[in-house]
Amino acid sequence: MAHSIKLFLTLLLTWNMVSMVVMARPLMMTKSTLAARLKADEEGSKCWDSLFELQACTGEAILFFLNGETYLGPGCCRAIEIIEHQCWPAMLTSLGFTPQEGDILRGYCDAAEEDDDHN
């Protein structure tokens, strides 16, 4: 009998502590919708189109690092620029590139765009 009372009190105390922790936690009230976070509006279609373009030029990006080829096509660079600057800055890392590789790709494409602007 004493064991069951001890168990009951332990469970009651645990439940009470957990409920206080949950009630004391501030709720994060974000006003952004899933559509806004995914950039699913009309302007966001550019983001999704760029993501598909990036998928098509993944081979170029891999060869860029494996063989040391210093060329990415303009479509590939355009996709990287749009995704990194206007859409989802962390997208390249979620696609398997390290943050350093993402920085290198972005830097290469930014420099290539500047060269095109000067010519």
pLDDT one digit per residue (tens) for the chain, 119 residues: 677 777 666 765 666 565 665 565 565 666 667 666 665 666 678 888 888 998 889 888 889 899 887 789 999 999 999 988 888 888 888 888 899 999 999 999 989 888 776 66
∠ at Cα 81 (77, 87), nearest 5°? 140
- What is the distance between the alpha carbons of residues 79 and 53, in angstroms, rounded to a whole number? 6
Written as six digits, the tokens of 83 are 């995704």
∠ at Cα 105 (99, 106), nearest 5°? 85
pLDDT at site 44: 72
pLDDT at site 107: 92
pLDDT at site 76: 93
Closest CA to 55 of 91, 29, 86, 2: 91
- What is the distance between the alpha carbons of residues 58 and 35, in angstroms, rounded to a whole number? 26
